[in-house]
Amino acid sequence: MKAPKNQNILIYTALPKAKRLKVYIPFLMKAERECFKKLDSSYYHPQQNLWSLINTVENLKKIESLFGSKLLQVGESAPRGMPKIDLNRQGEAELEKTHQKMVLKGFSKNTVDNYKSSLKPFFKYFENQSLKSVTKEQIEGYVFELISKYKISESAQNTIINAIKCYYEHTLGLPREYYNITRPKKSQDLPNVLHINEVKKIINSPSNLKHKTILHTIYGAGLRVGELIRLRVVDIRSEEGYIFIKDSKGKKDRHTVLSKHLLELLREYYKIYKPAYWLFEGQTGGQYSSTSIQSIYRKAVKDTNGNPWSTPHTLRHSFATHLMERGTSLRHIQAALGHNSSKTTEIYTRVLAINNKTIKSPLDNMYESVSLDENKTTS
């Protein structure tokens, strides 16, 4: 089932004894997807590209209330999930070789797991053929079949292609450009950004000092949630005026700005909580969890009646946009965010305030000019 052009969220009519309600959320609806993830019992079925909740009347009402007019009920059964894969010895051996290569190259655990899951059905599909002899056209035919049969998402399609390229380029050592496989067109959706007054309300909402400091740090330094939970006490370089981010996305180190206001708040927090190693420790002394940060943010948004579609990452988007609105150079923003390319940072230029207070339409100029000319004529 493909989503309609107007990007409806689909809820499939549950069979009488169905245990879960199945929901399809289009790839471009990132904010809606994040909100659904926060619901109790939410679960993602990667092989079907569907989300679900336990099948109860209360949960159905929650879904209807959350998505409103965007929700479209369909009577057709949900798309089939991919069957369980059992590889032969050769397939298992190739999978293990690829696993070793990825570990040696320092791929993250999530990447390793995702690539292995994507390669298993690929190896099964071509188990009666030498994998070295598989052509680009055959690979594209395989991906097309997955899209047609299992309705895989654009992100899943890209993961499959990346996994296949990893196998051919790293495991088999073929040239990097040898398998230039066709990809889906990259979406150009805009990041969700909050007004600065709304940010102020949200980050000041928690009465708990640790929770308040966490939200201030995400926004004040433009951090990803993963970067925040990996911050160490020694990473706050108060004398030099920056925060050191170690092993951020892509395993790159970087510096980001240390706000004077945030430094005062961090000192107050440190005196009370006295963290030993990690800047923000959990109850048992280890790293703070990302789920706890999500909960802190959700409560702050709810308490301030903020944008329900926003997430902690929205604070990072807002950090970048607010810097750009104040005229901070693109290069400095790029460095603070840790982007490889300035093109990634340039997306924030597309969300700058565009309205009749910041830009004057030529239509207004035209009519104002005509009005002045008429006044001259009559006088």
Q: What is this structure's pTM?
A: 0.61
Q: Both 211 and 300 in a single domain?
A: yes
pLDDT at 79: 60
Domain that holds residue 39: 9-74
Amino acid in position 131: L
170 among known catalytic residues: no
Sheet holding 236-237, edge to edge: 236-237, 242-245, 254-257
The reply to whether 313 falls in a domain is: yes
Backbone angles phi, psi at 278, to 5 degrees: -75, 140
d(CA 282, CA 168): 42
pLDDT tens by residue, the chain, 379 residues: 343 344 789 998 887 778 889 999 988 888 898 889 888 888 888 767 889 998 888 899 999 989 988 888 887 555 666 778 889 999 999 999 999 999 999 888 888 999 999 999 999 999 999 999 998 889 999 999 888 888 787 888 999 999 999 999 999 998 876 567 778 776 666 678 899 999 999 999 999 999 999 999 999 999 999 999 999 999 999 999 999 999 887 778 999 999 999 999 999 999 999 999 999 998 887 899 988 999 999 999 999 988 888 889 999 999 999 998 888 888 999 999 998 888 888 888 777 766 666 666 777 776 776 655 555 555 5
Q: Are residues 98 and 46 in the same domain?
A: no
Active site residue 224: yes
Same domain, 93 and 70: no
270 an active-site residue? no
Q: What is the pLDDT of residue 220?
A: 95
What's the pLDDT at 164? 94
Does residue 293 share a domain with residue 334? yes
Is residue 373 a part of any domain in this protein?
no
Q: Are residues 157 and 124 in the same domain?
A: yes
Q: At residue 210, what is the residue type?
A: K
Give yes or no: residues 103 and 70 share one domain: no
In the chain, the number of structural domains is 3
Q: Name all contacts of 17-20 with Cβ < 8 Å and 24+ positions apart.
A: 18/55, 19/54, 19/55, 20/52, 20/53, 20/54, 20/55
Q: Residue 1: what pLDDT?
A: 38
**DSSP β-ladder status, 50-54 and 71-74:** unpaired
Pick the last residue of a domain from 171, 187, 220: 171
- Catalytic residue (choose from 33, 212, 224, 317): 224
User: 164 and 101, same structural domain?
Assistant: yes
Q: Are residues 119 and 252 in the same domain?
A: no
CA dist., res. 54 & res. 10, Å (int): 16
pLDDT at residue 268 in the model: 97
Check if 313 is active-site.
yes
Classify residue 362: in a domain, yes or no: no
Annotated catalytic residue, options 30, 124, 249, 255:
249
Annotated catalytic residue within 216, 316, 317, 322: 316
Verify whether residue 249 is a known catalytic residue: yes
Structural domain includes residue 358:
no
The Cα–Cα gap between 190 and 12 comes to: 28
Is there a catalytic annotation at residue 367?
no
Which amino acid is located at 372 in the chain?
A: L
